[in-house]
Amino acid sequence: MTEIRATAASRLPRPRPAEATLPPSGLAGLKPEWSRLVEVAESGSSASHGWHLLDNGPQLDALGVIPVGTILCVHGNPTWSYLWRGLLAAATDAAQSGAPAWRVIAVDQLDMGFSARTGGFRPLARRVQDLGDLTDSLDLAGPVITLGHDWGGVVSLGWAVDHPELLAGVMLLNTAVHQPAGDKIPAPLRLALGRGILGPATVATPAFLATTLNLAHPPLSAEVKRGYSAPYLTGERRGGIGGFVADIPVAPGHESRAELDRIAEGVRVLAVPALLLWGPRDPIFSDRYLDDLVERMPHARVHRFEGAGHLLAEDADYAAAALLWLGDALEPGLLDSVHAETSRSRNGDLDKLDQRRGAPGALSAATSGLEAVAVTAPVSLVELVETAVSRAEPGAMTAPVSLVELVETAVSDVAPVSAAAPSSLVEPVEAADGGPAAAWQAAGTHPLWHYLDVLKDSDETALVDMQPAPRTVSWRLLSRRVRQIAAGLVHIGVKPGDRVSLLVPPSADLTAVLYACVRIGAIVVVADAGLGLPGLTRAVRGARPDFVIGAAPGLMAARALGWPGRKISVARFPAPMARLLSIEHTLAGLIQLGQARLESGDLLPVEPRPSDAAAVLFTSGSTGPAKGVVYTHGQLSAVSNALFVQYGVGVGTGLVAGFAPFALLGPALGARSVTPDMDVTAPKTLTATAVAAAVAAIDATVVFLSPAALVNVVATADALTPADHAALDGVQRFLSAGAPISESLLTQAAALMPGATAHTPYGMTEGLLMADITLDGIRAAAASLARPADAAAHDDESARLPETAVSTSSTSGAGAAAPAEGEQLSAVNPAGGVCVGGATATTRIRISALDARGASVGELTEEPDLTGEIVVSAPHVKDHYDRLWLTERASRRGAVVGERWHRTGDVGHLDGAGRLWVEGRMPHVIVTADGVTTPVGPEQRIETLPEVFRAAFVGVGPLGTQQQVAVIETVPPARRVHRAAEPLAAAVRAAVGSPVAAVLVVPGLPTDIRHNSKIDRSRLSRWATGILSGGKWVKP
Amino acid sequence: MRVLVTGASGFLGRAVAERISAAGHEVRTFQRRPSGLTGVEDVHGSITTPPDTPYAGLAYAVSGMDAVVHLAAKVSLTGDPAEFEAVNVGGTRTVLQASQQAGASRFVYVSSPSVAHAGSSIMGSDALPASPEQARGDYARTKARAELLALAADAPGFSVVAVRPHLVWGPGDTQLIDRIVDRARRGRLPLLGHGAALIDTTYVDNAASAIHAALDAAPTVHGQSYVITNGEPRPVAELLAGICGAAGVAAPAWRVPASAARAAGSIIEAIWRRRPGADEPPMTRFLAEQLSTAHWFDQRRTRADLAWTPVVSLDEGFARLATHYRAAR
């Protein structure tokens, strides 16, 4: 493509001028009353041009509402203002319903849409001036929020940079402001710019237009395509499309390069809130352009709509997101959302915004009302802190204190907690001043690498790998390796904040690499093979790693699926293979490099602070695409602390690490850990003998296993020798984590470790270890349910609930209060659920009651027997979702400023003894005309029938008038899908106790990929809807 | 209240007249044959008699009435389109006019959910506007036009409400239950598709109490349409099995693909139109659609507005049906 010249416009046919016109009537979704034509004089010339624009101002006038501001929308190439019809409609509807009214002005850029064909070529600088000429002629007053897509994003940002006095915020959909000099522009554009292609592709034929319109997910309807094509029906009208493509500054000498660079740099000092909405399936503006924008506007809110692409405006509800964000910006209680953004504020994203405002040469303070409102949050935060300081007793605060703690103290009336208490419910936060050491001291937790420093001269065992042959690693060696790898990583260019994807099976290598990464402030990305390759690919791409450290399978997958990041291998490969896999370094090489750097006197970089991001973990994806969950160093340390407090894992503890997330924290706790001999991608391969060998290798007293592994351990117990049994006798605690397991499985496992207490925790990727229950607790809970059996209708069944229990922390209260039926549920429908025990020491659990529509709107409460969404708060709850602002916003429950409450998406209730009972997932709540039903209780009652192996209880039909449907696996399993025979259907209906429209039998229920135990009720509901409407008779 | 019930010799009409009479209202009935009811004033005549006919029965029947419940209609799967038009549309227009002239203040039009049914599945939707263009078959089409006529007559002092009971059944029903039982007994009742389509029905007592409730609520709910059901949808095969079980006959055991039944229904319907007999055709396209697609409705508005809930459950209905058949044996 070297033949691409500085400006390609000269290769385009010279377009003929034409007047602006109104769009034809009848375009789908476009209201004729929005359209108007404006004649605008061109600055610096005697010419004037006609503009077509969409404007809901007259509609707002008719409604008699005064707009709070204007959203100025600029389309890209080859679309037109039609792109923004959804926002015009949504903003007008919102105004009509009494919400703040936003005037939306969406322009057709000159030579585009139904604006005039000017007969010339309009480079970027001219287009930015054109937009300014238009807003001048409209007498547009502030506050203005710009909104741009594609090339219109650049033009809108150019206007934003030039109009600080009007600007109150910027919103962008897939766009780019910077093309790195060395980088190739996206392939589709390179192609379009090719000699002999530009004109024919963009102007003479509708090829470029058609290609763009085919980028929608799902495909656009014919009528919407007609809408987009309406202004571009002939080659004469498509001149602007070619002009835009030609204006892409592919080379440094391009005439628009300087303007693009001016805008790109101007964006860096924009002192207004920003919202970036992104469709990752974009062949043109890929995630690297999002990275660039985030780097320029670190305070921006970002939401990536997984599955959406370049035409994000068609693929996702950007209008609702934009109005929600604007609503937050207007909200007087913005303080809440500032805190809801959590450590970003501590990390400084809003601080950064504040700094921009105060920085020398930064834009002058806002003259527009909105800007003042929108960006005063940091100011009011400071005011609040000052107020708090004036109130707080100086003696109470010994350690340097944080904004958040002060705010909480001031607002919540909670007695001041010692900042150093490890079990403090207040999130660990860094000191305002001082280095990392002071920050960690203030946080009250140790950094993850603490014991690697403390024990760096110890020859005691730190790690044992059981495969391929047992290999013992001392603290001294582990500590040295971590430092060597850390130095090596720094040397090859890994910087703090860089993301490193770890595709290494649990092993000493993984542990060393992980601690090396966190020590230098790199963010580790831990994706799970359990996501399946497509899920893993989405996860790794979405996490945009700068580096990938992997074993052979991971690197091959990375190569085959084009995962981003520079590749580092833990093993050596023959050179051709290494080249094929694009391997730049090996672990051994890194260690050598690092050793050399350390010997030459290099120091490791400054330690990360508690508030710095440490890791991205991925959710199971059982409820949609896997989400990246960001933990800070302080939060991961808090997870370690929770393990210590709950299970006594600490210095000197021997730990069998068969469950990855917790197992990796062994070294952080000073515990010695062993990875048993198993294929981690197939946990079912772990044998009882392998567990016994691992226990014997390090005199383990604590064993962590996954439920799938536990199944096989129990199944292979016959092979245990007396020596194996002797080793297992020494185990004091074992833990099955990751998914619910049955009491019988836990009982069988407990029999193998007779000296051990069996635990199973409740938690999620966003909050590991929220509650905990022992086997005894499970039995006590079952017993407590048996009590009211005499009184209520279905207790003969309840007494035999398979998975019910009481927590350890509330053993004293076990059985003290019989769980009554949830108030929201009818008397014939006891809530039921799986008892997961009491909250762990540093966790608080509350319930937000469901309303009649199944929404969790209730105040957070500990009131017993109230069914609602489970909401948790703990120092070890995740920091935020990665680039999922909408998801993050929805997951937050702001009760008290400074507290972080996370909506788990689970529904359940607390009982009188403080035990948590899980009744299902929020999206699985059934809302009939009679009220709300949670699925687990009915499922448990159905599962008491001898002919039923497993049941799923789902709703079909519209929420609010749903019908209840039972889908069951029978004993023995059915070979095909069928309606349950009359006696079974009658038994199921009797067991449930409320109307069941249909009982369907299936050979197998669909379960999520990672755990093979969580039933996919949403999918079953869709399937049952099809079957029960006379649809095709297929398997779920 | 003095209430005229038209079509009281029919299965539902009789139940409605009894119900309203039992509630203490003065009931007059109007139909072609004796209603066989006691405690009501029986007037005989036809709603298709031109209204200007001297001494027409209808004119007498509506005189002095406060309210009219209009059930009389031609209910059939096939038949002469002109007859559907004359009875269902013309007859309704005649009854409406006579009622207005006689000074009645309430008018309950008993319609059918099929007036808004385009042939696809209905899962939990509320009553949609009647649509003669979309309704399938002559019955549904003419009932749709009649409902629109009735609602158009709603005016101050003349409160019109349309109720649409769905698949009314119960002991003594010759339209639906007896035919199902009869065909099942002769081995002529197939199951369409897998018989899983969820269908909601209305036990006759519930339909009657809902119509009574609509009569009471007419001054506040006038101008509106309400679907009436038990609110207990079940797979169609379970309903058929329940009915057959109550009657002591074997439930359908053989299965016809729903698409084949629809095609066959169309053909049979066409043949029957040219060769009309007293017998109903074994299958019509309308019936095939009815039995192979879901039909259940959002009952929240109905129950709230009419202050009504069904009191006889599906299972209780089956039990009463069984008692009825046992007594008949």
A435 touching chain B per CB within 8 A: no
Please state the rounded mean pLDDT for residues A649-657.
91
Cis peptide, bond prior to residue A143, ω within 30 of zero: yes
Whole-number pLDDT of residue A433: 55
Q: Which amino acid is at B294?
A: A
Taking alpha carbons only, the member of A738, A718, A663, A725 closest to residue A695 is A725
Summarised one tens digit per residue, pLDDT across range A243-253 is: 888 887 777 77
CATH topology of domain A476-608: Rossmann fold (3.40.50)
Is it the case that residue A823 has pLDDT exceeding 90? no
Q: What is the CATH classification number for the domain harbouring B41?
A: 3.40.50.720
Summarised one tens digit per residue, pLDDT across range B123-150 is: 999 998 999 998 888 889 999 999 999 9
Residue with tokens 């809901």: A56
- The first and second tokens of residue B166, run together, are 């769905």
Whole-number pLDDT of residue B209: 97
Whole-number pLDDT of residue A784: 77
Residue A875's Cα: distance from chain center in Å? Answer: 18
Summarised one tens digit per residue, pLDDT across range A444-459 is: 888 999 999 999 999 9
Q: Which of B124, B292, B293 faces A958 most closely, judged by CB atoms?
A: B124
Residue with tokens 């006095």: A165
The alpha carbon of residue B142 is apart from the nearest alpha carbon of chain A, in Å, by 26
Summarised one tens digit per residue, pLDDT across range A923-942 is: 999 999 999 999 999 998 99
Whole-number pLDDT of residue A339: 33
Residue with tokens 């349950």: A980
Instruction: Report the share of chain A in percent with pLDDT over 90.
Output: 53
Lowest-pLDDT range, A375-379, A643-647, A692-696, B249-253? A375-379
The alpha carbon of residue B156 is apart from the nearest alpha carbon of chain A, in Å, by 31
Q: Is A548 helix (H, G, I), strand (E, B) or coil?
A: strand
B235 touching chain A per CB within 8 A: yes
CATH topology of domain A9-13+36-330: Rossmann fold (3.40.50)
> What gap in Å lies between CA B215 and CA B163, rounded to an integer?
10
Whole-number pLDDT of residue B275: 55
Could you check whether A476-608 and A770-922 share the same CATH topology?
A: no
A927 touching chain B per CB within 8 A: no
Is it the case that residue A123 has pLDDT exceeding 80? yes
The alpha carbon of residue A983 is apart from the nearest alpha carbon of chain B, in Å, by 12
Structure ipTM: 0.90
Report residue A326's pLDDT band, with 50, 70 and 90 as the boundaries.
very high
Contact flag A961-B299 (C-beta cutoff 8 Å): yes
Q: Which of B196, B298, B303 faces A1028 most closely, judged by CB atoms?
A: B196
> What gap in Å lies between CA A640 and CA A650, rounded to an integer?
9
In A, residues 948-967, which contact B (CB 8 Å cutoff)?
956-958, 960-963
B232 touching chain A per CB within 8 A: yes
> What gap in Å lies between CA A242 and CA A245, rounded to an integer?
5
For the domain A945-1027, what is the CATH superfamily, name and number? ANL, C-terminal domain (3.30.300.30)
Do residues A593 and A487 make contact, with C-beta atoms less than 8 angstroms apart? yes
Please state the rounded mean pLDDT for residues A482-501.
95
Contact flag A1030-B196 (C-beta cutoff 8 Å): yes
Is it the case that residue A1010 has pLDDT exceeding 90? no
B310 touching chain A per CB within 8 A: no
Report residue A380's pLDDT band, with 50, 70 and 90 as the boundaries.
very low
Contact flag B238-A960 (C-beta cutoff 8 Å): no
Whole-number pLDDT of residue A1009: 56
Taking alpha carbons only, the member of A153, A159, A156, A114 closest to residue A136 is A159
Is it the case that residue A895 has pLDDT exceeding 70? no
Whole-number pLDDT of residue A416: 35
Contact flag A997-B123 (C-beta cutoff 8 Å): no
Contact flag B237-A1025 (C-beta cutoff 8 Å): no
The alpha carbon of residue A1021 is apart from the nearest alpha carbon of chain B, in Å, by 13
Q: Which residues of A touch B258 (CB under 8 A)?
A: 1030
Lowest-pLDDT range, A103-117, A655-669, A944-958? A655-669
Alpha helices in A163-238 (DSSP H): 187-193, 198-199, 207-213, 222-229
Is it the case that residue A378 has pLDDT exceeding 60? no
> What gap in Å lies between CA A785 and CA A820, rounded to an integer?
9
Residue A41's Cα: distance from chain center in Å? Answer: 47
Summarised one tens digit per residue, pLDDT across range A51-79 is: 999 999 999 999 999 999 999 999 999 99
Do residues B69 and B108 make contact, with C-beta atoms less than 8 angstroms apart? yes
Q: Which of A960, A997, A1033 faces B233 most closely, judged by CB atoms?
A: A997
Do residues A998 and A979 make contact, with C-beta atoms less than 8 angstroms apart? yes
Whole-number pLDDT of residue A606: 92
For A770-922, the fitting CATH number among 2.30.38.10, 2.40.110.10, 1.20.1730.10, 2.60.40.1180 is: 2.30.38.10
Whole-number pLDDT of residue A531: 65
Do residues A628 and A1020 make contact, with C-beta atoms less than 8 angstroms apart? no
Whole-number pLDDT of residue A155: 96
Is it the case that residue A896 has pLDDT exceeding 60? yes
User: Could you tell me if residue A154 is left (phi over 0), alpha (psi between -120 and 50 degrees) or otherwise beta?
Assistant: alpha
Report residue A49's pLDDT band, with 50, 70 and 90 as the boundaries.
very high
The alpha carbon of residue B70 is apart from the nearest alpha carbon of chain A, in Å, by 30
pLDDT, greater one: A9 or A41: A41
> What gap in Å lies between CA A307 and CA A286, rounded to an integer?
13
Whole-number pLDDT of residue B206: 97
Q: What residues does each domain of chain A span?
A: 9-13+36-330, 476-608, 648-765, 770-922, 945-1027
Mean of all residue pLDDT scores within chain A: 81
Is it the case that residue A824 has pLDDT exceeding 50? no
Q: Which residues of A touch B260 (CB under 8 A)?
A: none
Whole-number pLDDT of residue A438: 86
Whole-number pLDDT of residue A404: 29
Beta strands in chain B (DSSP E): 2-6, 26-31, 41-44, 67-70, 106-110, 122-125, 159-165, 168-169, 191-192, 198-199, 202-203, 225-228, 234-235, 255-256, 295-297
Residue A1008's Cα: distance from chain center in Å? Answer: 18
Residue B283 in domain: no
Report residue A619's pLDDT band, with 50, 70 and 90 as the boundaries.
confident
Residue B325's Cα: distance from chain center in Å? Answer: 22
Domain that holds residue B104: 2-165+202-229+298-310
Please state the rounded mean pLDDT for residues A218-228.
94
Contact flag B193-A1025 (C-beta cutoff 8 Å): no
Whole-number pLDDT of residue A927: 95
Is it the case that residue A726 has pLDDT exceeding 90? yes
pLDDT, greater one: A176 or A342: A176
> What gap in Å lies between CA A879 and CA A217, rounded to an integer?
31
Beta strands in A625-680 (DSSP E): 628-632, 654-658, 672-675
Whole-number pLDDT of residue B260: 67
Please state the rounded mean pLDDT for residues A722-744.
88
Contact flag A1030-B234 (C-beta cutoff 8 Å): no
Residue B103 in domain: yes
Domain A648-765: state its class.
Answer: alpha beta
Whole-number pLDDT of residue A872: 96
Residue to mutate among A963, A982, A1033, with most B CBs inside 10 A, is: A963
Q: How many CB pairs under 8 A join A and B?
A: 75
| Helices vs strands, H then E, count in chain B | 12, 15
Q: Which amino acid is at A172?
A: L
Is it the case that residue A84 has pLDDT exceeding 70? yes
Whole-number pLDDT of residue A362: 32
Do residues B70 and B10 make contact, with C-beta atoms less than 8 angstroms apart? no
How many folded domains does chain B comprise? 1
A979 touching chain B per CB within 8 A: yes
Q: Which residues of B touch A931 (CB under 8 A)?
A: none
Please state the rounded mean pLDDT for residues A318-333.
81
In A, residues 661-720, which contact B (CB 8 Å cutoff)?
none
Residue to mutate among B117, B122, B123, with most A CBs inside 10 A, is: B123
Contact flag B197-A963 (C-beta cutoff 8 Å): no
Q: Give me the active site residues of B, please.
A: 139
DSSP string, B281-295: PS--HHHHHHHHS-E
Contact flag B196-A956 (C-beta cutoff 8 Å): no
Write down the pTM of the prediction.
0.80
Contact flag B124-A995 (C-beta cutoff 8 Å): no
Residue with tokens 């007592």: B205
Is it the case that residue A826 has pLDDT exceeding 50? no
A982 touching chain B per CB within 8 A: yes
Whole-number pLDDT of residue B182: 83
Please state the rounded mean pLDDT for residues A141-147.
91
Do residues A961 and B299 make contact, with C-beta atoms less than 8 angstroms apart? yes
pLDDT, greater one: A799 or B327: B327
State whether the Cα torsion A15-A19-A20-A25 is positive or negative. Answer: negative
- The first and second tokens of residue A65, run together, are 């509402």
Report residue A354's pLDDT band, with 50, 70 and 90 as the boundaries.
very low
Whole-number pLDDT of residue A786: 60
Whole-number pLDDT of residue B274: 59
The residue ranges of chain B whose pLDDT is under 50 are: none
B13 touching chain A per CB within 8 A: no
